[in-house]
Chain A
């Protein structure tokens, strides 16, 4: 081996160990890759520590449930974010009720009915593109077609969030439906089932865990969105449990309003609301992971 190498080259080359500059360069690049990961950890750790440290001071049972949101100038300890907590759950919940079934149906069309048709390819491509549409544009859109006719309401906010969630649910469900093996479908057709029955009772249950975890991630994303609810819901100081009429408010909106204020009470309230919001999104994300883990174990 060494003899063959020295025949063609002036000096023997040790093929096992790259030496000198080549080796150093490889090491430098590996260190840089690890450095990139560490660089990302810094702001993430920083924001989470600040969030927990400042938010924990603000959060109390009264803060979470008291239905009156006080003005910015009032120090922490009076009132609470109850109205925003209720609003977030209502508005995001109804948006999910709208977007998840429609999104799953859209994905069913793309994967089960569309095939290679131009229309299906167009919808698939545009749903991908639609995930990149800024959330503020969704807010403007719902403002124009709904709020100018029917006024501000939690429902308008739900519509805006649903527009945002729809393409995300379509994409994640579509990816999951694609993984369902064709043999399952063929087996059910062989038993004489209609296409709708095969889809509803065989294909969708097979992909259920993936669809649910994708949908939960979309819900988590929507719960944290501020821009679409900014001018579709206005804001309230008292809990408005009626989704369909009257202005409403959500946690992100309250964080946005209080963050812009210079008063210490407002800042403390913003941190408390932020911690509550992040806790809600984390719970949804962990639920998504658990569901995926449970179901993949069962199907194996």
Chain B
């Protein structure tokens, strides 16, 4: 009997099956297989970091003055700042436009529309996510860009001479394929993910809190401000950051509508470039040397950037989930 009570080191926690001391080979094999599949995630992430770092060594060895310049011409200048600026500015525009809409829809579907009617609305929002990036890009460049160009030109002539607005929305080189157009497309593309994550967070608000607010005579909006918002603030911030990370990594749609020129300018209606877009458009021409090394380096840069944004975002989401459980 003493052998029965001794814990078998091969028995995983939770299986608690001491009667069967001999675990069949297949059983152990399956566990190892499952563990290997789980470890694959970590292996891929580590390999991405290591291989891209190796391949971009030439670029990084060029030193800081090489990387910290705006121009990227594929010939002598391989600066990261211009494209990084484009990535950040287009994603920020996307978030500024996309967040109020996404949070509005999330509140609509959780607080206004009755739960049994919410499903069709969710399907419609999910349709946005099903349309592939390249189709948004195709629509953007063929339909949206020529149409926006006229509007941009009107706005530019309207704000001529007004100090701040002129440098944001004016200027002589206003064009349809621009930072702002990229931001608009990004706003559409990140809406489904922000909406669904916010919805999940908002759905965890306890009914008793909401009923309490109503019992005190609050209107629906006051109830949202007073109970839903404080409860789900952190989670919604996390959802927004995840949307921001998606926007930064979005490649094909942005490559088609941002205009393909590396610029560092406050003019939002000027054409620009982003990290992901420049890799997509120029990697084919970069057959070797510092050009390819620089593009892979930019890829590593983007990878680290999105990982960091996602780490912070998940931390927010999990912290708010823990709070919702009352820990």
Flag whether B63 is at the interface (Cβ < 8 A). no
- Kindly identify, within residues 117 to 175 of chain B, every residue whose CB is under 8 Å from any CB belonging to chain A: 121, 124-128, 130-139, 141-143
B108–A133 CB distance below 8 A? no
Query: Interface size for chain B: under 10, 10 to 19, 20 to 34, or 35 or more residues?
Result: 35 or more
Any B CB within 8 A of the CB of A184: no
Closest A residue, CB atoms, query B220: A26
User: Given the known A-B contacts A141-B47, A196-B27, A226-B251, are A129 and B34 also in contact in the complex, defined by CB atoms under 8 Å?
Assistant: no
Q: A194 vs B10: C-alpha distance in the bound complex, in angstroms? A: 13
Of all chain B residues, the one with the shortest Cβ separation from A258 is: B138
Interface hits, B269-301 → A, CB 8 Å: 276, 279-280, 283-284, 295-296, 299
A39-B101, A109-B37 known; A278+B135 contact, CB < 8 A: yes
Q: How far is the CB of A39 from chain B (nearest CB, A)?
A: 6
B273 CB to nearest A CB, Å: 14
Q: Given known contacts A33-B112, A140-B52, A270-B138, is B248 in contact with A134 (CB within 8 Å)?
A: yes
Cα distance A55–B19 when bound, in Å? Answer: 65
Residues of A in contact (CB 8 Å), total: 91
Q: In the complex, A154 Cα to B34 Cα: how many Å?
A: 27
CA distance A231 to B55 in the complex (A): 16
A94 interfacial contact with B, CB 8 Å: no
Cross-chain contact B220 with A140 (CB below 8 angstroms): no
Chain B binder among A66-74, A112-120, A205-213, A237-245: A112-120
- Interface status of A285 (Cβ within 8 A of chain B): yes
Check A47 against B131 for contact (C-beta < 8 Å). yes
Main SS of the interface on chain A? helix
B27 contacts which chain A residues (CB < 8 A)?
Answer: 194-197
What 4 pairs across the A-B complex have the smallest Cβ distances? Answer: A134-B249, A224-B132, A36-B104, A105-B37
Contact residues of A with B, CB < 8 Å? Answer: 15, 18, 22-23, 25-26, 29-30, 32-37, 39-41, 43-44, 46-48, 50-51, 102-103, 105-106, 108-110, 112-115, 117, 120, 122-123, 125-130, 132-138, 140-141, 143-145, 163, 166-167, 170, 189, 192, 194-197, 199-200, 220, 223-227, 230-231, 252, 255-256, 259-260, 267, 270-271, 274, 277-278, 281-282, 285
